Amino acid sequence: MKKVFKILLWIVIAAIFVGTFVFLYLNSRPEKTTYAIISPEYGDIERTTVLTGKIEPRDEINIKPQISGIITEINVEPGDIVKEGDVIARIKVIPEASQLSSAMSRVESAKISLEDAKNKFERNRTLFEKKVISREEFETSETTYQQARRELEAANDSYAIVKDGVSRYNASESNTLVRATIGGLILDVPVKVGTSVIQANTFNDGTTVATIADMSNLIFKGKVDETEVGQIAVGMPMAISIGALPGLTPTARIEYIAPKGTEENGANTFEIKAALEADSISGLRAGYSANATVTISNSAGVLTIPEGVVEFAGDSTFVYLLTDSVPDQQFRRTPVTTGSSDGINIEVKSGIESTARLRGEIIKK
């Protein structure tokens, strides 16, 4: 019995030894790597760049008052359509005390001058009828009298303008009426009745009463990175996509590229403007965020391979060409000349044929 037990023990020890040897041998062998095989194909390579920006009216005008005062009437609200010359608001003038006092003083002086001229004119008329003075002297006094009357009328009108902002002779063109300077859509009315407004001057831009834009003439305004600005040109078409309106795809054409860049977050960007086609702007609003896709280059019917199989080394590019697959895959590093890329596939101009078989991703080890 003991002899049998010893034999079994030695058998187990021998099995463990052999198993350990086999395990170590298998793990000491080099790993075998298998790669996917890629074949070139003929196709189109389109390189595009995407610009971010907004939809804006080409002409957006801030309407400002010509005098300072208080808004007493507003005739429009955002969304209204106006024509050039339409009255947007009315202003009540709050005159300055010094200007009002000066205007009143001018009126009083004009009254005194008129009274004096009138007395002289009436006296000279009597003397002229009695042939005491000459006609020339009489006519001079009459002219002076008429001038004094005109001066009083002008003084009264100036007083009315200072006090009420309205001329007695041209009330319809009064500065108290804020009018649209262009026809278009009212985008914003940032004031209310009772708001104090001031006119534009050297020290102040003035209060904006309303903002008007011509919504029939829209542009895309965006920015392009300095690495791509040299590859786009005025006149190139672009496709617009608007996040708020996924079903709308306006078209546009570049009409302006800024000659000078601006630095943003450490990168230089250049402003781009593109005119939207008139038949594709229906339903658009000012301020929509938008992306514009510009086709930089387009190569049709060229030999292409996945960009991931290309090895880039400085200014050179290489692929690994399959030379043998038995017993193991064998590859040769081969230089190629590449062209356009769309980020997924890349054009191969020379170095391989369409029948070539190239090393791709690792399948297993």
- State both tokens at 185: 């859509």
Which single residue is written with the structure tokens 């793990």?
Answer: 27
Cis peptide before 57, with omega less than 30 degrees from 0? no
Three-state DSSP state, 130: coil
Q: Any bridge partners for residue 239, and if so which?
A: 251, 293
**Residues 281-317 pLDDT 10s:** 777 888 889 999 998 888 888 999 999 899 998 889 9
pLDDT at residue 19 above 90? no
Which residue in 232, 221, 220 sits closest to 49, CA to CA? 232
pLDDT at residue 43 above 70? yes
d(CA 28, CA 41): 40
pLDDT at residue 27 above 70? no
User: What kind and span of H or E run contains 147?
Assistant: helix 135-164
Residues 6+ apart with CB under 8 A from 295: 46, 47, 48, 236, 237
**Residues 29-39 pLDDT 10s:** 556 778 888 89
**Residues 111-150 pLDDT 10s:** 888 888 888 888 888 888 888 788 888 888 888 888 888 8
